[in-house]
Amino acid sequence: MATGTGSTYGARDHARAQEGTQVDTMPTLPAGAWPNPPAGVAPDRIVWAETVAGGNYTHKVIARGTELRLTDLAGDACAHVLLYADGRPWERLNAADTVKVLWNAYVGEGHLLLSDQGRVLASVVADTSSRHDALCGTSTAVRNTQRYGDGSPQGPSPAGRELLKLAALKNGLEPRDLPPSLSFFQGVRVVADGKLEFTGSAGPGASVTLRAEQPLTVLIANVPHPVDPRPDYVCTPLEVLAWRAAPTAPGDRLWDATPEGRRAFLNTDDHLAARGIQ
């Protein structure tokens, strides 16, 4: 008779014995059991707590007003982020409008992340990194295969687009639903001759906090930036932490920071009010 995991009963007993164990790069369940909640955030407000390994991805639907903090734990994370109005995937992050409407190609605190409907999907309420990118998008299987020898999602050097495809499929989305993403923690700058200069990371512990201004589907791939010049596939863990809060409201400094931003918030509130979302 087979013993250990060589039998159905043995495999079941082995699997059940793992209950209560925690791997560093898996979600904390319930999220409120996260050991280090942010200052001023009660554990029962935490709705998402996870560490995403380099070369991996995550996704979740979050409510309007939720604050989502991403942290570059060791200094070499790169979070490639896509946002969708939940249940309405045709309204999604538009990187071009995000930089065009707000007259700024370098995402940071106070920036609004816009859809092509002129509405705010999320706002950047805090940023200690300033090393972000709205110009390049994420890596592809073809490019990673050329650089590292493999770009498949299960291989040693997964491409960001391939991981975002997996996250998208788990939310009823298709590859054609993937627009260019924003990259957090590994930045680029446009230099005088028009070329892109890779600025790299701000170092370990840098974080950026987004506030969901609509109910959102969030997709995140943690992979090297596509113009990172290093020959090796370098990507370290990303901390993802979200908690219940309140959306931006009239009178908030973000609401009135620019005429374009104020109009985007008014567009957003008008749309949500008609749908009965406060």
- pLDDT tens per residue, range 93-114: 999 999 998 899 999 999 999 9
Two tokens, residue 140: 């592809």
Can you give the pLDDT at residue 148?
96
CA distance 111 to 106: 9
Which residue bears the tokens 């998402």? 48
- Look up residue 150 and give its amino acid: D
Separation of alpha carbons 115 and 131, rounded Å:
22
**216: closest CA among 45, 63, 31, 57?**
63
In tens, the pLDDT along 218-252 reads 999 999 999 999 999 999 999 999 999 999 999 99
Give me the count of residues in the chain.
278
| Mean per-residue pLDDT over the chain, rounded | 93
Which of 206, 209, 156, 158 lies closest to 186, judged by CA? 206
Q: What is the pLDDT of residue 100?
A: 92
Please give the pLDDT value at position 178. 97
The closest alpha carbon to 176, from 167, 168, 187, belongs to 168
Q: Which range has the worst mean pLDDT, 21-35, 96-110, 230-244, 263-277?
A: 21-35
The letter for the amino acid at 91 is E
Residue 21: pLDDT over 50 = no
Domain positions in the chain are: 45-274
Token code pair at residue 243: 């908690």
Over residues 34-39, the mean pLDDT reads: 92
DSSP letters of 97-129? HHHHHTT-SS--TT-EEEBTTS-EEEEEEEES-
pLDDT at 278: 77
DSSP 263: H
Residues 6+ apart with CB under 8 A from 91: 84, 85, 115, 116, 117, 119, 121
In this structure, which amino acid lies at residue 123? Answer: S
In this predicted structure, the answer to whether residue 69 has a pLDDT above a threshold of 80 is: yes
- How far apart, in whole angstroms, are the C-alpha atoms of residue 66 and residue 68? 6
pLDDT at 215: 98
Q: How far is CA 27 from the centre of its chain?
A: 15
Give the pLDDT confidence score for residue 7 in this predicted structure: 75
Report CA 234 to chain centroid distance, whole Å. 18
pLDDT digit string (tens) for 155-181?
Answer: 999 999 999 999 999 999 999 999 999
Q: Hey, what amino acid is at 240?
A: V
